[in-house]
Amino acid sequence: MDKILLGHGSGGKLMHALINEHFSPVFGNSGAGDSAVVGVRSQTLAYTTDSYVVSPLFFPGGNIGDLAVCGTVNDLSVAGAEPLYLTAGFIIEEGFPMADLKRIIASMASAAKRAGVKIVAGDTKVVNRGKADGVFINTSGIGVLENGIDISPKNIREGDAVIISGELGNHGVAILAERNGLTFEPPVVSDTRPLNGLVRAMYQATSRIRFMRDPTRGGLATTLKEAALESGLCIRIREQSLPVPPPVSGACSLLGLDPLYVANEGILTAVVDPVDADRIVAAMRAHEHGRSAAVIGTVDRSAPGMVLLETAIGGSRILDMLPGEMLPRIC
């Protein structure tokens, strides 16, 4: 393949191929994670960077501004870190309405306040009309890890429990509906929100969290497939345990989408010691962002590197990574 396709930014197979074949060999690291954990003198830090090109810029439940802050906070949080500081870079198209820019900036400030982080530096560039589709935002974030925290798919063990913190598919369907002028009853609203408070509650319940990830691009199926491949184990999830809200289920049925591959922005999936599963779910449900938390599956050795969905009718289906770009410009 000699040209970049939209699918190279999907979070699925094409993006992984791009990273593994082009970026990783040159940069000398895996490049696969959203955050890197690094040691600086006596401190363990997590560092992340992300760019936001969502279309449309404003959608039910949020906009590109709070999405950028929450997405960065969440990438640090699921690495096991306490987010502290963010930077923000803006690429703004000439002619972009100042009122819209003020709304975006205000939403970023509000999201940062809710998450308890500070935006401490930034950069602004203005490009010619038609060169930036309104505004693009790049963020970086840094957080600190307590001693002993180690979040990695390589920590996953046979018998572990798989947990989801909330409802699937709200963000992707909200974006799709707004982009295409669709209406659903009741309306589907993005789940854009910071998850560091929820992660803090999880750690108060147990320190035996093996793995966490926020299933954004590529959805839950792609995220679990990544974990299965890196751990060398099989992840089994139960269709009847998945919290898919009726409006999302109905919209996906109508549009021919699978909610397991639809992007999310305010939930996480975790793999934990089975002894702690009920306790951690109870702690999550006591938090405002974990009301729909549930154990959705287990880990075994039956089919290494695979994700299997146990269906409601008693069969099973293989879940692979998203092959291309189901919903472009989703974040």
109 in the same domain as 227: no
157 in the same domain as 79: no
Residue 18 has pLDDT above 80, yes or no: no
80 in the same domain as 216: no
Q: Which pLDDT score is estimated for 17?
A: 80
| CATH number of 44's domain | 3.30.1330.10
Residue 7 belongs to some domain of the structure: no
Spell out the alpha helix ranges (H) of the chain.
Answer: 13-18, 24-27, 64-77, 98-115, 170-180, 196-205, 219-231, 246-255, 277-285
Please identify, among 113, 145, 177, the residue that sits at the C-terminal boundary of a domain.
145
Residue 67 belongs to some domain of the structure: yes
Please identify, among 90, 118, 145, the residue that sits at the C-terminal boundary of a domain.
145
Given a contact cutoff of 8 angstroms between Cβ atoms, the answer to whether 79 and 199 are in contact is no
* Closest C-alpha among 148, 116, 201 to residue 37: 148
Q: Which pLDDT score is estimated for 27?
A: 75
Residue 324 belongs to some domain of the structure: no
Binned at pLDDT 50, 70 and 90, residue 41 comes out as: low
Q: How many degrees, rounded to 5, is the angle at CA 198 between CA 64 and CA 156? A: 105
127 in the same domain as 162: no
313 in the same domain as 164: yes
How many separate domains does the chain show? 2
- Reported for 308-313, long-range contacts at CB under 8 A and 24+ positions apart, including other chains, are 308/234, 308/235, 308/236, 308/237, 309/236, 309/237, 309/238, 309/239, 309/260, 310/236, 310/237, 310/238, 310/239, 311/239, 312/239, 312/240
256 in the same domain as 221: yes
125 in the same domain as 253: no
d(CA 212, CA 267): 10
Binned at pLDDT 50, 70 and 90, residue 323 comes out as: confident
0.75 exceeded by the pTM?
yes
Torsion angle of the four alpha carbons 87, 216, 238, 204, in this order, in degrees rounded to the nearest 10: 10
* Closest C-alpha among 213, 174, 204 to residue 32: 213
**221-265: per-residue pLDDT in tens?**
999 999 999 999 999 999 999 999 999 999 999 889 999 999 999
Domain enclosing residue 272, as ranges? 153-319
Mean pLDDT of the chain: 92
189 in the same domain as 296: yes
- Interstrand relation of 43-52 and 35-40 (parallel, antiparallel or unpaired): antiparallel
179 in the same domain as 132: no
pLDDT above 90 as % of the chain: 79
At a CB cut-off of 8 Å and minimum separation 6, what does 41 contact?
A: none
Residue 269 belongs to some domain of the structure: yes
Residue 28 belongs to some domain of the structure: no
Radius of gyration of the chain (CA): 19
119 in the same domain as 99: yes
| CATH number of 196's domain | 3.90.650.10
Say how many C-beta atoms besides its own lie within 10 A of residue 179's C-beta: 16
